[in-house]
Amino acid sequence: MTQDVFIAGYSDKLSARPGETVRFFVSSRASTDFTATLYRSISADPNPEGAGIIEEDASLYFNSSSFTSRYQGFTPGSFAQSTADLQADINNDLVIKLWFMPKILSAADQTLLAWGDILIILDPQGMISAKLPGGVSISTVVAVKCNQWHSLDLKVLASGVMALNIQSMTTEKADIGTARDGGSDFGVAQMFPLSVTSPVRIAAGFGNAPNCFNGKIEAPEILVDGISVAEWDFSQSISSLSVKAITGPDLLLKNAPTRGVTGRKWDATEFCWRHKPEHYAAISFHDDDIYDFEWDSDFELVIPDDMPSGIYVMRIEAEGQYDAMPFFVCPPLGTRRADLCVLVSTFTYTIYGNHARPDFESSWLKKISAWNAYPHNPTQYRHYGLSTYNNHTDGSGICHASHKRVLFNLRPGYLTFGGATCSGLRHFQADSHLIAWLHNQGIDYDIITDDELDRDGVAAISGYKALVTGSHPEYHTKQTLDALTDYRDNGGGLIYLGGNGFYWRIVRHSEDPALLEIRRSEDGLRAWASEPGEYYNAFDGSYGGLWRRNGRPPQKLVGIGFTAQGNFVGMPYKRVCYDKNMAWVFDGINDDLLGDFGFSGHGAAGFELDRRDEKLDEGEDITILAQSFDEDNRFILVPEEMLTHLTNLSGDPEADVKRADMVYFKTAKGGQVFATGSITFCGSLPWNNYDNNISTLLKNVMRKFLGS
Ligand SMILES: [Fe+2]
């Protein structure tokens, strides 16, 4: 396993209001203390040709302090563990039953069930073994088949017989197990009476190497002397992180294995687990699941009342190495401190957390060093848990995300595209182009993140004259989408400065809101695809996937929606609106070409583009202000827009559809929306020391929305 980084940390919350406590968890292998120092983050772009990293001293709110270094580890791999010991005196017979579907054979043993010294494993050759006290064991001689359901039936009798029967569901008559009459030769009879007092683990063993299982398990049961002492039905309480027992102790699910997955009874007659839970009686375990490092807290910060809302970075340092944990300070609920609210897309940041890009190259390290950029990349530390843009060891898509672990890409100075000729930033770092611009323009703002918006609803943002998003507000819960819609429809001013926004539906876990779920169902531009029958979120039973497939396309909120995607390249917009009523947008701008420059893709319209589609919006009077077409044919039409190789949903030539539309419209009750439809828009703001036509255009929009 790759070694852990020298010093790293995370916080229990990504955002907080005054009076709330943010706890910081640190692992440091230094022999000296580590220091913690607080800064306010203005620019997180390390590009020496741009603003560079800009952070202001914030020691007024947290005195720089030293803390004892200590190493804190973590163990990836999901499993179920009983909440108490299972105690049994076995006089005559022991029977263990379960169903399992292995996904891969791995180099190490994989554990199906462990109870004290009783262990059932899948070995690297695909054989199943049961190991019992006193060196008694039994193994199959025919390999199981991956991606097929098998029943497992282990019988150990005081008479000396021991049998392990594995049967494949798909090859009904082929009993691939082996049964051995052990008799006294194998010491079976001598094991009795057997007393066991131990927790039970499903899908993992005990000890330092739990040898977690990759696959699905269903209906485990332990019978002693003919009586069920432990039995679990995974079709119950599918939304929970625990399993109530039918008999015996309940189970706690560690590291968030996936529920709401098809089980052995699933026959494609029903696609929602809520309707036929018995078809979804399996849990899918992965040896690389990890959502909470569960480190001990090293220090904390109670947000002072007078701490300005903003983006802060807790920098920790020891022996010349560092980590930098960003967090977002919001105003007290119901207390606006500015007219403008910046909505920080913490859900999208988390969903992308530790995205190991397949194009990462060690040649990037040279640039990282030259720019003094953030040194670590998730690709180098895969055991920290990857993102929902990556796959598990078994090839399935990762559908859970959490910030309660070290997220290397959520760091000032992190380069997403290290080989790009521009800054190559996305998410937190790319959004700092907007933050730096606001500071340069002297525009006051409050921060609200997805967390507050989800929890407090429209109350988190009502009263602001305008709300501005960053470059990529892609992931939303029903609650955040409802809040934004309510805000807009009650007179709010919505400024959407991104592309591919409001795209995927996600759900927070009701038992731990830090845990997010994404099902990449059916359609959309996807890093992986959910399996048939697994399109419904386990966390709340809602239909997962695109908001568009849930009847709420982004066009309904902001007038435009995802239409084209390409490499991290940008183009300029061309002004297309000369209506006198819209002249305020272009005040002080003489160019027709807007944003033919920028730190993201060298152009304001790039990477992912949104366009207007009047079939999908709500019929508002939407004005297209400027457009950018994919003239060099570098972008693809997104899958949900395509029909055949010749046709697409719009009925127009593809070249006419692959474009970004910059739009403006008014809503009832005096609300208004300005939307750019491009991920790279914000990257143009700091260009030429903030003196450029994109900067001027946004200044005009802000002036109009803020009434300043
Ligand atoms: Fe995205």
- pLDDT tens digits, 444-481: 999 999 999 999 999 999 999 999 999 999 999 999 99
Angle CA(74)–CA(79)–CA(85) in degrees, nearest 5? 100
Mean pLDDT of 138-153: 92
Mean pLDDT of 395-403: 98
The torsion angles phi and psi of 460, rounded to 5 degrees, stand at: -70, -20
Please report, as a single letter, which amino acid is at residue 240.
S
- Going by DSSP bridges, is the β-strand pair 545-546/573-575 parallel, antiparallel, or unpaired? unpaired
| Partner residues linked to 198 by β-bridges | 86
Residue with tokens 């494949």: 168
* Ligand 1 midpoint to CA 136 (Å): 53
pLDDT 10s digits, 424-433: 999 999 999 9
Both tokens of 456, joined, read: 């407090």
> What are the angstrom distances between the C-alpha of 632 and each of 420, 429, 593, 626?
19, 28, 16, 18
- DSSP class of residue 477? -
Segment among 181-190, 344-353, 472-481, 543-552 with least mean pLDDT: 181-190
Where does the pLDDT of residue 174 fall: very low under 50, low under 70, confident under 90, or very high at 90 and above? very low
Cα 83 from Cα 252, distance rounded (Å)? 6
Which strands, in side-by-side order, build the sheet including 493-496?
A: 446-449, 340-344, 466-469, 493-496, 672-675, 659-666, 623-629, 573-575, 593-594
* Ligand 1 midpoint to CA 513 (Å): 21
* Ligand 1 midpoint to CA 691 (Å): 29
Residue with tokens 């970004």: 660
* Ligand 1 midpoint to CA 346 (Å): 13
* Ligand 1 midpoint to CA 433 (Å): 18
Residues 6+ apart with CB under 8 A from 688: 597
* Ligand 1 midpoint to CA 449 (Å): 17
State the CB neighbour count (10 A cutoff) for residue 235. 22
> What are the angstrom distances between the C-alpha of 351 and each of 176, 402, 479, 602, 657?
42, 7, 17, 26, 28
Mean pLDDT of 522-530: 94
pLDDT 10s digits, 410-446: 999 999 999 999 999 999 999 999 999 999 999 999 9
> What are the angstrom distances between the C-alpha of 90 and each of 156, 245, 590?
10, 20, 88
* Ligand 1 midpoint to CA 225 (Å): 55
Residues 6+ apart with CB under 8 A from 381: 2, 4, 5, 354, 408
pLDDT exceeds 80 at position 177: no
Helix H or strand E segment including 700? helix 693-706
* Ligand 1 midpoint to CA 217 (Å): 32
Of the chain, the percentage scoring pLDDT greater than 90 comes to 92
What confidence score (pLDDT) does residue 185 get? 60
* Ligand 1 midpoint to CA 254 (Å): 28
* Ligand 1 midpoint to CA 500 (Å): 7
| In contact, 150 and 168? CB cutoff 8 Å | yes
Residue 708 burial (C-beta neighbours within 10 Å; 0-12, 13-18, 19+): exposed
Kindly report the length of the chain. 708
Segment among 130-139, 291-300, 491-500 with least mean pLDDT: 130-139
Average model confidence (pLDDT) for the chain? Answer: 95
* Ligand 1 midpoint to CA 602 (Å): 19
* Ligand 1 midpoint to CA 545 (Å): 13
What confidence score (pLDDT) does residue 180 get? 54
* Ligand 1 midpoint to CA 474 (Å): 6
Angle of helix 427-441 relative to helix 693-706, nearest 10 degrees? 70
Both tokens of 462, joined, read: 């009502």
* Ligand 1 midpoint to CA 488 (Å): 23
What confidence score (pLDDT) does residue 172 get? 56
* Ligand 1 midpoint to CA 397 (Å): 15
* Ligand 1 midpoint to CA 526 (Å): 9
pLDDT exceeds 50 at position 35: yes
The better pLDDT of the pair 180, 609 is held by 609
Both tokens of 7, joined, read: 């010093």
* Ligand 1 midpoint to CA 681 (Å): 15
What confidence score (pLDDT) does residue 1 get? 43
DSSP-assigned letters across all residues of 133-155: GGGEEEE-SS---TTS-EEEEEE
Mean pLDDT of 315-320: 98
Mean pLDDT of 518-538: 96
Cα 79 from Cα 75, distance rounded (Å)? 11
Of 440, 326, 376, whose CA–CA distance to 699 is shortest?
Answer: 440
What confidence score (pLDDT) does residue 640 get? 96
pTM for this predicted structure? 0.97
* Ligand 1 midpoint to CA 204 (Å): 34
